[in-house]
Structure 1
Amino acid sequence: MISETILISSLDALPQAAAQVRAAMHGHSIICFEGEMGAGKTTFIKALCQSLGVPDDISSPTFSLVNEYRDAENQPIYHFDFYRLNDVREAEGIGALEYFDSGYLCLIEWPSRVEALLPPERLVITLTVTGPSSRELKIEN
């Protein structure tokens, strides 16, 4: 397992951290975001999507479970938030397996709620709160 840690000192450091994560994403379409509530998963995904050229407003798909964006090359990016999931069958019901198998980028918040559906090949990003606006970001694959 390869691991890398990025220290994010403030919101101003997000674009640089997103660029580092983009480099680590090469060859991965499933990116899982772990971290406690309020750790900044959605905020980081916004910065990552901006670095990928997504022109849309990025928001958490807390109630819809999935949002679709388009990157600078008009390729789909799927953003999932499984926090409110009561059962893995709900994810199956929205076609999560088809999204995961599509080969397109899937950014997944609260992936542990759908662990049984996730392919073994994935990148895991763990965000840990280290201060009011600072975070530690750990990348594992």
Structure 2
Amino acid sequence: MSLLTLEISGLAALPAAAAQVREALRGHSIICFEGEMGAGKTTFIKALCQCLGVQDEVSSPTFSLVNEYRDAQNQPIYHFDFYRLDTPREAEGIGALEYFDSGYLCLIEWPSRIEELLPPDRLLITLTVTGLETRELKIES
């Protein structure tokens, strides 16, 4: 079921798109980001974290697998990048299930790599390249 579709015209449009997505997140803690390499998953997560009041530098956890940030209410936000994983067992090894059960916001890049570990109650955000700088963002539950 699609909840929201946004056309993002470029980097300057990211803060407004992130604000709209922030509203759609209410009541959800597991947010999955899909899109081809270079679609802008990490870039969008940076804008979303900024919108949530994160003061830390947001970067891809490609090698560490998970980064932790703090939002404006000093609550943790966990940012995962599972691109480099070969099996879901590797995610279990870093305690992914405990993070997912924490109730805190978990932003997950490449969730298809650990599909079997994900809870059914989650949002899927798909970023699709539509032009050199343009993207379509779709939120589904």
The within-5 A match list for 1:1-141 is: 1-141=1-141
Identify unmatched segments of 5+ residues in structure 2. Answer: none
Q: CA deviation at 1:3?
A: 2.7
* 2:34–2:124 contact (8 Å) kept in structure 1: yes
2:13 match: secondary structure: helix
Q: Percent of counterpart pairs with the same letter?
A: 81
Letter in 2 for 1:87: T
CA deviations over 1:40-65 (Å, ceiling 9, x no partner): 00000000000000001100000110
Letter in 2 for 1:117: L
TM (norm. structure 1) is 0.99
Q: CA deviation at 1:90?
A: 0.6
Identify unmatched segments of 5+ residues in structure 1. Answer: none
Runs of at least 4 residues of structure 1 off by over 3 A? none
Q: Distance in 2 between matches of 1:45 and 1:10?
A: 15
Letter in 1 for 2:6: I
How many residue pairs get aligned? The number is 141
* 2:124–2:139 contact (8 Å) kept in structure 1: yes
CA deviations over 1:80-122 (Å, ceiling 9, x no partner): 0000001111100000000000000000000000101000000
